[in-house]
Structure 1
Amino acid sequence: MPSGASTAESKRIATVLFDEVTKERDVTSFDRYAADPLHQHNPQSYDGIAAAKEQFTSAFAANPDLSISVKRVIADGEYVAFHHHFKSSPEDRGAAVIDIFRVRAGKVVEHWDVIQPVPEKSANDNTMF
């Protein structure tokens, strides 16, 4: 653990940021819990706190019924992963998403995501969640 951050502290910081942004729609949480530049690994996202705030503000404005239902949180040292069901509206099947955050010196410094649409039909009876 190069940053010296404990798993518990990394999980706390990432969870507060994730919950404040996704549940409370408080994009100013990036100012408190992320370092600038916030390094994005999604090729459709720009680096930086201002870009992250704009991306979420635009998404909330375009999709007022957007919902994110966290299914599990996994933390190990400075890495914290959220597995969640992302839906742009109640009738949307949505996507299974894993967001991964890296926490250093008390701030989120990096973000990755993996997104898989929820299909209409599945080859098995298991859910994606």
Structure 2
Amino acid sequence: MPNPFVRFGLIAGLLTLAGAATASQPVSTVAATTVSRDADKAVVLAFYEAAFGRLDLNKARRYLDDGFIQHDPAVEDGVDGFARYHQRLSSTHPRYSYEIRRAISSGGLVTVHVLQRLNPWDRGDVQIHMYRVVDGALAEHWVVGNPIPATSLNANGLI
């Protein structure tokens, strides 16, 4: 069973980093409603299904803000930058798959815990993606990840 304290610490740290990255932007002191958090999360999950589940780049584009800011060094800024990344991924790894294990939303930020595999025989990578959602569109993206190792010093696993 995964250690909930380690998981909480990782998520809290990522949210803190996101807050520091956007510290110049005003932050509401009023707690977001469940409806808005659920709506932000639904946008991110729909984006994943379109972009990576159905490989429908045209539909995936609809979820991205025109000024999409990218913090993944493998992806350029903007909708066209994501499109180039998506085309490289789908042509290089046509059997790519992903599985969202967890998704949380707070104050316009949505974090997803993802298992991704470039092909079926790949052990995979576990990644944490965080999105800033503005007016129902993905405005900014951060990612951190680890390859799943062959062995571990604990039985908790990454997923």
Common fold: TM-score over 0.5: yes
| Number of positions where the alignment pairs a residue of Structure 1 with one of Structure 2 | 128
Deviation at 1:44, TM superposition (A): 2.5
Shift of 1:111: 0.5
Whole-angstrom distance in 1 between the partners of 2:86 and 2:55: 8
Q: C-alpha offsets along residues 71-118 of structure 1, whole Å, 9 cap, x if unaligned?
A: 111111211111011110111111001111111112110001111111
Conserved in 1, the CA contact under 8 Å of 2:65 and 2:138?
A: yes
Name the residue aligned to 1:115. 145
Contact 2:95 2:119 in 1 (8 A): yes
CA contact (8 A) 2:50 2:57 kept: yes
Aligned to 2:121: 91
TM normalised by structure 2 equals: 0.75
Contact 2:50 2:60 in 1 (8 A): no
Unmatched tracts of structure 2, length 5 or more: 1-26
Runs of 4+ in 1 over 2 A off after TM superposition: none
TM-score calculated relative to the size of structure 1: 0.91
1:33-72, aligned counterparts within 5 Å?
33-72=63-102
Percent sequence identity over matched residues?
A: 27
Q: Which has the higher strand share?
A: 1
Residue 16 of structure 1: which of 46, 49, 60 is its match? 46
Amino acid at match of 2:82: A
Q: Where is the helix percentage greater, Structure 1 or Structure 2?
A: 2
- Flag structure 1 segments of 5+ consecutive residues without an equivalent: none
RMSD value over aligned CA atoms? 1.6
Return the index of the structure with the highest Cα Rg: 2
Which residue of the other structure, out of 71, 76, 79, is the alignment partner of 2:109? Answer: 79
Cα displacement (A) at 1:43: 2.2
Question: How far 1:31 sits from its partner (Å)?
Answer: 2.7
Distance 1:119 1:30 in 2: 31
The higher-RCO structure (CA 8 Å, 6+ apart) is 1
1:20, distance to aligned residue in structure 2 (A) = 0.9
